[in-house]
């Protein structure tokens, strides 16, 4: 990478669905990167039951960031480090909400380091108001009829309402 090359960061995850905490991490990343690819994984490291398809998640993330041309969501299959190489990025971004995230994040970052030493993982800490927020809690609260409007952006809220008929 030459000093004048644009910095392309990748923010990978499940984003099922994207929360305002994820959005906060994405916006923080744009303080240090010129472009951000939000990479929605077909294969998550932890077993999860998905609510939205990967395609639905990509579409809704692109809607959330429609006004910012620096941000684009893409789906990826297989290894993250291969995807990073394919899109010409050496910078993987993850959010760290609490100490409970640390072990899982360290494992993934170090595995990615082993697989591809040229790729760096950097962590951003979200605004404190989002430190408790997770996609799984949003899914659960929405599925039980709770109001999640302050935790997700309008395109995500609309999809949740469609899913749960609220």
Cβ contact 17:52 at 8 Å: yes
Q: Which two tokens stand for residue 27?
A: 């916006």
Cβ contact 127:4 at 8 Å: no
97 is catalytic: yes
Considering the complex, what minimum distance in angstroms separates the CB of residue 100 from ligand PNS? 12
| Region from 42-50, 60-68, 116-124, 125-133 binding ligand PNS, contact rule CB under 6 A | 42-50
DSSP 30-47: TTT-SEEEEEEESS-SS-
Quick one: 69 or 114, whose CB is closer to ligand PNS? 114
Residue matched to tokens 């990343």 = 29
Nearest partner of 60 among 136, 157, 166, 146, judged by Cα = 157
| Region from 41-49, 51-59, 64-72, 157-165 binding ligand PNS, contact rule CB under 6 A | 41-49
Residues in region 94-113 near ligand PNS by CB under 6 A: 108, 111-112
Considering the complex, what minimum distance in angstroms separates the CB of residue 15 from ligand PNS? 7
C-alpha torsion sign, points 159, 160, 165, 166: negative
Considering the complex, what minimum distance in angstroms separates the CB of residue 40 from ligand PNS? 8
48 is catalytic: yes
22 is catalytic: yes
Query: Quick one: DSSP state of residue 130?
Result: G
14 binds ligand PNS (CB under 6 A): yes
Which residues are part of the catalytic machinery?
Answer: 22, 48, 97, 135
Binding positions for ligand PNS, rule: CB under 6 A:
12-14, 41, 43-46, 79-80, 108, 111-112
């Amino acid at each position: 990478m030459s000093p004048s090359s644009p910095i392309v960061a990748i923010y990978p995850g499940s984003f099922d669905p994207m929360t305002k905490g994820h959005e906060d991490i994405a916006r923080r990343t744009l303080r240090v990167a010129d472009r951000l690819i939000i990479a929605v994984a077909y294969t998550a490291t932890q077993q999860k039951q998905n609510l939205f398809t990967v395609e639905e998640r990509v579409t809704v993330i692109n809607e959330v960031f429609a006004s910012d041309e620096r941000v684009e969501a893409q789906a990826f299959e297989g290894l993250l480090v291969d995807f990073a190489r394919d899109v010409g990025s050496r910078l993987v971004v993850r959010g760290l909400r609490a100490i409970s995230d640390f072990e899982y994040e360290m494992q993934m970052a170090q595995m990615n380091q082993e697989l591809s030493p040229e790729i760096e993982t950097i962590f951003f800490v979200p605004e404190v108001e989002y430190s408790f927020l997770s996609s799984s809690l949003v899914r659960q609260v929405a599925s039980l009829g709770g109001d999640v409007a302050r935790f997700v952006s309008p395109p995500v809220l609309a999809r949740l309402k469609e899913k749960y008929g609220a």
